[in-house]
């Protein structure tokens, strides 16, 4: 009740590998991680200042190739036998990311799950060299812009800002993403100031401000 | 040491014997009652599984009425209200009522929620000191009221001041349900009208009304759009007699006029658009995408525009005034020329739509129109009776 045992709330998979295998796998990636670290150090010593002028736009995700789609993870409630929804992320014939699936809001009759029906599309967490977790550097920006072609339903846009302490592990900034539907593309611009703080799907009474400098992991959640 | 050990052995034997005795009793009881079909689940679920089963011991609840509407629901609440001043079992009654609200079609009705909360006895549960307030005086009842509010929230029903008075009279002004009420009244109005495409709280069930709403919504992309309602009976030798809701803007008409007569255009669909919990299938008249005009070249040396910016070292943004900007309908995967929803979504109704479009777009007579064979969203999925998939095509 007062503390969290697990970052994933007990949903993560346990590592089945032995220590020897883990060391072997880790050493395989050492070379890449070292070169990554070298780049980071070069950047640090170059000390290039970052200028963001008003009106500047930075493209973070362009879902137009297979590699770009690999940066995303799709989950739904049938993953843990908590519903019947299915979802997938594929490349459409015109070469755009297509998030599709079946949404079923019927809860399974196991007497435990009260409500069901979600499909979720989440970007994988950015990491520095040696797999150190970082946040996306969005401190200089104030708006999230999305170009999409929706189906008329409302979606939920979640920016996950998991903090260090267990009470902050489930912190998320959310705002509904309304879609028009129809054959035309839609451009939605949501200021970061509009996002509200939620934790485990509940809006918080104290709307803590998003600390500048701390980045985010956006997730798109279908409801 | 031996005395306690032996005592323990005796005790354990007693325990074992008593448990075995209980087991034998229960097995005897189960054998005895096996034909009675004692149902311990809620009466509704038992009813749902086998409505015709009449056993000697059937639980008759207030929600057993054949007709399921607001009238019978409210009548059940009233009967419970008149049972006595104590209203025993009101928490259980409210929980079973909450479960059945959707079946009775009252899950979006604020008045019914108020009536349910009014079933709780007033005054008795108001806390008298701060410890009672913070440690949830009458927890079952408070949790029940919170669950009732939660269900309202899930169904998008916004409470009002009367609701606050009911909750305050039940549990006092600082109780958890009243706090939940405060949160709801703070957040729900913020999102009530947040969507740029407003829909009524309950969308109509009529396919024609839904189609009009869908086409209007899709046409908001272009302010010059106009929506026309056709009847297929206007066309000679039309096989289907139905309606067509068609949306086309003046920009799209101009694009259609500019279209070279030799190249064919396609009618594609049905695609799906969702309006709250309903969905509508729509069709699109689409031409192939045109290649974009080449950007103005920077080959001229005397062009002052190609001087690098002193600040970023990059070229200045190109002059775009001379090239005409594309309209919203000219997209990378095709040019959208018109939209429609028909009553039957049949092939013949689409043919009639093209015929009727010819009146406002005479150039359509010269352009070959192709109809796609397969639906891009796949075949219609038949759902099992238990499943309520979200994707039920309303208008198709």
Dmax (CA) of chain A? 60
Task: Output the DSSP codes for B259-300.
Answer: S-TTS-EEEEEEEEEEETTEEEEEEEEEEPPPPPPPPPP---
Q: For residue B334, is it within any domain? A: yes
Same domain, B210 and B251: yes
Same domain, B65 and B188: yes
Angle at A54 between CA A53 and CA A60, to 5 degrees: 75
Please tell me which of the candidates B274, B332, B333 has its beta carbon nearest to residue A152.
B274
A173 contacts: CB under 8 Å, gap ≥ 6: A158, A159, A161, A192, A195, A196, A197, A198, A210, A216
Residues of B in contact with A176 (CB under 8 A): 191, 194-195
Mean pLDDT along residues A28-40: 95
**Phi/psi at A42 (nearest 5 deg)?**
-60, -45
The three-state secondary structure class of B204 is coil
Domain-ending residue, one of B192, B224, B259: B192
Count of CA atoms in the C-beta half-sphere (13 A) of B254: 9
- Torsion-angle region of residue A181: left (phi > 0), alpha (psi -120 to 50) or beta? left
Same domain, B248 and B137: no
Among B385, B138, B155, B219, which residue's Cα sits nearest to residue A106?
Answer: B385
Min Cα distance A181 → chain B (Å) is 6
Closest Cα in chain A to B386: A106
Same domain, B150 and B288: no
Q: In this structure, how many other beta carbons lie within 10 angstroms of the beta carbon of residue B393?
A: 16
Predicted complex ipTM: 0.86
Q: For residue B123, is it within any domain? A: yes
Instruction: State yes or no: pLDDT of A221 exceeds 50.
Output: no
CA dihedral B82, B87, B90, B93 (to 10 degrees): -40
Same domain, B149 and B242: no
Dmax (CA) of chain B? 114
Count of CA atoms in the C-beta half-sphere (13 A) of B116: 29
Interface check for A80 against chain B (CB to CB < 8 A): the answer is: no
- What pLDDT is recorded for position B188? 94
Among B152, B164, B139, which residue's Cα sits nearest to residue B201?
Answer: B152
- Torsion-angle region of residue A9: left (phi > 0), alpha (psi -120 to 50) or beta? left
Identify the H or E element spanning B219.
none
Q: For residue B65, is it within any domain? A: yes
Same domain, B114 and B261: no
Query: Of the given ranges (A93-102, A114-123, B30-39), which has the lowest mean pLDDT?
Result: B30-39
| Contact pairs from chain A to chain B, CB under 8 Å | 77
Q: Tell me which of A82 and B302 has the higher pLDDT.
A: A82
Closest Cα in chain A to B45: A109
Q: For residue B35, is it within any domain? A: no
Min Cα distance B329 → chain A (Å) is 7
Same domain, B249 and B387: yes
At A141, is the pLDDT very low, low, confident or very high (cuts 50, 70, 90)? Answer: confident
Question: How many angstroms separate the CA atoms of B322 and A172, rounded?
Answer: 46
Identify any residues that bridge with A145 across adjacent strands, giving them in sequence order.
Answer: A189
Instruction: State yes or no: pLDDT of A215 exceeds 60.
Output: no
Q: For residue B141, is it within any domain? A: yes
Which pair of tokens denotes residue B88?
A: 């025993």
B58 contacts: CB under 8 Å, gap ≥ 6: B39
Please tell me which of the candidates B183, B282, B333 has its beta carbon nearest to residue A205.
B183
Min Cα distance B152 → chain A (Å) is 14
- What pLDDT is recorded for position A15? 74
Same domain, B287 and B333: yes
Same domain, B396 and B252: yes
Instruction: State yes or no: pLDDT of A60 exceeds 80.
Output: yes
Interface check for A163 against chain B (CB to CB < 8 A): the answer is: no
- What pLDDT is recorded for position B378? 59
Q: For residue B305, is it within any domain? A: no
Domain-ending residue, one of B141, B166, B192: B192
Q: Which 8-state DSSP code applies to residue A99?
A: E
**Per-residue CA distances from B80 to B85, B99, B157, B235 (Å):** 10, 17, 24, 60
Same domain, B210 and B173: no
Query: What global pTM score does this model have?
Result: 0.79
Q: For residue B344, is it within any domain? A: yes
Contact A185 B331 (CB under 8 A): yes
Please tell me which of the candidates A117, A178, A182 has its beta carbon nearest to residue B196.
A178
For each of chain B's 396 residues, which pLDDT tens digit applies?
344 444 444 444 333 333 333 333 333 333 334 333 433 344 444 444 444 455 555 455 788 888 889 999 999 999 999 988 888 899 999 999 999 999 999 999 999 999 999 999 999 999 999 999 989 999 999 999 999 999 999 999 999 999 999 999 999 999 999 999 999 999 999 999 999 999 998 899 999 999 999 999 999 999 999 999 999 998 888 888 999 999 999 999 999 999 998 899 999 988 999 998 899 999 999 999 887 766 655 556 566 666 666 677 666 555 545 566 788 999 888 999 999 999 988 888 999 999 999 999 999 999 999 998 666 665 555 444 444 444 433 332
Closest Cα in chain A to B328: A184
Q: In this structure, how many other beta carbons lie within 10 angstroms of the beta carbon of residue B39?
A: 17
Interface check for A65 against chain B (CB to CB < 8 A): the answer is: no
At A90, is the pLDDT very low, low, confident or very high (cuts 50, 70, 90)? Answer: very high
Which pair of tokens denotes residue B6?
A: 């032996």
- What pLDDT is recorded for position A1? 62
Interface check for A182 against chain B (CB to CB < 8 A): the answer is: yes
Q: Helix B176-192 vs helix B161-171: angle between axes, to the nearest 10 degrees?
A: 170
Contact B183 A153 (CB under 8 A): no
Contact A184 B154 (CB under 8 A): no
Same domain, B243 and B113: no
At A12, is the pLDDT very low, low, confident or very high (cuts 50, 70, 90)? Answer: confident
Identify the H or E element spanning B227.
strand B225-231
Mean pLDDT along residues A102-114: 89
The answer to whether residues B339 and B282 touch, using CB atoms and an 8 Å cutoff, is yes
Among A73, A157, A77, A174, which residue's Cα sits nearest to residue A117?
Answer: A77
Range of the domain at B159: 59-192
Same domain, B230 and B177: no
Which pair of tokens denotes residue A29?
A: 């990636």
How many structural domains comprise chain B?
2
The three-state secondary structure class of A158 is strand
Q: For residue B375, is it within any domain? A: yes
Residue-wise pLDDT for A149-204, tens only, equals: 989 999 999 888 888 888 888 888 899 999 999 999 999 999 998 999 998 889 99
Domain-ending residue, one of B147, B171, B192: B192
- What pLDDT is recorded for position B5? 44
Count of CA atoms in the C-beta half-sphere (13 A) of A44: 6
């Amino acid at each position: 009740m007062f503390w969290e045992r697990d970052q994933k709330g007990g949903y993560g998979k346990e590592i089945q590998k032995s220590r020897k295998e883990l060391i072997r796998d880790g050493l395989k990636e050492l070379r890449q991680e070292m070169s990554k670290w070298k780049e980071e150090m070069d950047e640090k010593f170059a000390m290039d200042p970052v200028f963001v002028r008003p009106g500047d736009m930075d493209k973070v995700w362009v879902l137009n190739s297979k590699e770009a789609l690999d940066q995303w993870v799709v989950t739904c409630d049938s993953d843990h036998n908590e519903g019947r929804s299915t979802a997938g992320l594929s490349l459409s014939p015109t070469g755009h990311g297509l998030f599709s699936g079946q949404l079923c809001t019927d809860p399974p009759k196991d007497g435990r799950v009260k409500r069901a029906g979600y499909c979720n599309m989440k970007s994988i967490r950015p990491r520095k060299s040696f797999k150190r977790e970082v946040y996306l550097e969005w401190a200089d920006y104030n708006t999230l812009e999305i170009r999409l072609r929706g189906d008329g339903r409302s979606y939920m846009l979640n920016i996950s800002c998991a903090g260090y302490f267990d009470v902050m592990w489930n912190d998320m900034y959310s705002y509904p993403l309304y879609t028009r539907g129809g054959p035309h593309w839609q451009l939605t611009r949501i200021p970061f100031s509009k996002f509200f703080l939620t934790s485990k799907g509940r809006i918080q009474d104290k709307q803590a401000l998003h600390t500048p400098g701390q980045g985010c992991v956006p997730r798109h959640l279908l409801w | 040491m031996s005395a306690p050990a032996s005592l323990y052995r005796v005790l354990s034997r007693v325990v074992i014997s008593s448990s075995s005795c209980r087991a034998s009793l229960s097995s005897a009881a189960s054998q005895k009652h096996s034909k009675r079909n004692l149902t311990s689940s809620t009466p509704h679920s038992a009813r749902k599984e086998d409505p015709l089963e009449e056993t000697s011991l059937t639980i008759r609840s207030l929600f057993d009425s054949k007709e399921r509407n607001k009238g019978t629901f409210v009548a059940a609440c009233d009967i419970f209200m008149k049972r006595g001043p104590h209203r025993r079992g009101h928490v259980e009654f409210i929980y079973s009522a909450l479960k059945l609200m959707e079946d009775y079609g009252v899950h979006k009705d604020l008045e019914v929620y108020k009536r349910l909360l009014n079933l709780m006895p007033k005054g008795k549960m108001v806390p008298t000191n701060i410890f009672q307030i913070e440690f949830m005086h009458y927890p079952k009842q408070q949790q029940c009221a919170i669950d009732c509010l939660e269900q309202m929230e899930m169904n998008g029903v916004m409470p009002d001041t009367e609701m606050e008075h009911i909750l305050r009279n039940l549990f006092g002004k600082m109780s958890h349900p009243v706090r939940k009420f405060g949160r709801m009244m703070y957040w729900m109005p913020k999102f009530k009208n947040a969507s740029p495409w407003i829909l009524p709280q309950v969308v109509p069930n009529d396919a024609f009304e839904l189609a009009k709403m869908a086409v209007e919504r899709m046409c908001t992309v272009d302010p010059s759009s106009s929506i026309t309602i056709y009847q297929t009976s206007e066309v000679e030798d039309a096989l289907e007699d139905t309606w067509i809701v068609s949306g086309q803007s003046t920009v799209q008409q101009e694009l259609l006029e500019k279209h070279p007569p030799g190249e064919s255009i396609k009618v594609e669909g049905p695609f799906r658009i969702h309006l709250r919990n309903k969905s509508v299938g729509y069709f699109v008249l689409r031409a192939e995408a045109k290649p974009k005009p080449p950007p103005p070249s920077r080959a001229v040396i005397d062009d002052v525009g190609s001087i690098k910016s002193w600040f970023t070292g990059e070229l200045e943004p190109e002059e775009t005034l001379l090239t005409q900007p594309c309209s919203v309908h000219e997209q990378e995967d095709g040019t959208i020329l018109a939209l429609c929803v028909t009553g039957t979504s049949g092939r013949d109704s689409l043919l009639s739509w093209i015929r009727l479009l010819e009146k406002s777009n005479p150039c359509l007579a010269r352009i070959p129109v192709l109809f796609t064979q397969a639906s891009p969203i796949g075949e219609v999925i038949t759902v099992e009776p238990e499943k309520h998939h979200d994707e039920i095509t309303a208008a198709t």
